[in-house]
Amino acid sequence: MRVDVVTIFPEYLAPLGLSLAGRARDAGLLDVHVHDLRSWTHDRHRTVDDTPYGGGAGMVMKPEPWGEALDAVLPDGATLVVPSPSGEPLRQALARELAGREHLVLACGRYEGIDQRVVEDAATRAEVREVSVGDYVLNGGEAAALVIVEAVARLLPGFMGNPDSLLEESHEDGLLEYPVYTRPATWRGREVPPVLLSGDHGAIAAWRHEQAVRRTAERRPDLAHPARAVTSGDLEGHL
Ligand code: ADE
């Protein structure tokens, strides 16, 4: 998979050369290129932002440098990923979908976002996904881009030594993962749950499933009952 990242802070993406994404790169599964948006500016101050039409706080990223940048790095048929707190949530299913693409281009916006026409223009020739990594606001898309690339890279075929280990993780089956333990069997007076030492694989699987269901219900009732996560009542007074 090829990944291009456009940002005004190229150094922020340095961790892509390390750890997991770096391992995928060394294995020849991932080819990452980071670009400085300001190289597509033409004024002395290398301006990338301006005040918003209609007023309001903050600055908006100008369409011209983004247009030129995407003309250069987004080929027809590639997938443009725009990290944004107003995007679709990054879930395991979306990470898996993106892992099936040949070429991702990530456009990291700063300030209040990128002029919306940039996304509309790109959508005439490429798939565009605005993606949120969570219901909180970051200062820009760079940290979100790191999250998205890591979630996708580890799903690339051939990346995981044992692909079966992916199947038991949190979120693969809609449940959080059960608690895990390793040696010693007693530590600071705390015992490992005895069923895990029993050698009874059926009993172990049943215990793990029960723990996963209990954890999910306690910590993430929205996963346990997705239909209840947002109801029309929640939106009353906002529409
Ligand atoms: N940019 C700012 N906040 C973000 C978020 N929560 N997800 C993705 N991109 C963002």
Angle formed at CA 77 by CA 76 and CA 83, multiple of 5 degrees? 100
Position in ligand 1 atom list of the atom nearest CA 131: 8
Residues annotated as binding site for S-adenosyl-L-methionine? 109, 133-138
Q: What is the residue with the minimal CA distance to atom 6 of ligand 1? A: 85
CA 116 to chain centre: 21
Per residue of the chain (239 residues), give pLDDT as tens: 999 999 999 999 998 877 777 788 888 999 999 999 999 999 999 999 999 999 999 999 999 999 999 999 999 999 999 999 999 999 999 999 999 999 999 999 986 899 999 999 999 999 999 999 999 999 999 999 999 999 999 999 888 777 777 777 878 789 999 999 999 999 999 999 999 999 999 999 999 999 999 999 999 999 977 665 655 565 566 55
65/74 Cα distance (integer angstroms): 13
Domains of the chain in sequence order: 2-153 (3.40.1280.10), 174-229 (1.10.1270.20)
**Structure tokens belonging to residue 71:** 């003309």
Cβ pair 44, 38 in contact under 8 A: no
Strand partners, 82: 130
- pTM score: 0.91
pLDDT for the residue 105 = 98
Position in ligand 1 atom list of the atom nearest CA 109: 1
Ligand 1 mutation target, pool 81, 133, 139, most atoms within 8 A of CB: 133
Residues within 6 Å of ligand 1 by CB: 83-85, 132-134, 136-138, 140-141, 144
- Residue from 206, 228, 232, 202 nearest 217 by CA: 228
Cβ pair 110, 141 in contact under 8 A: yes
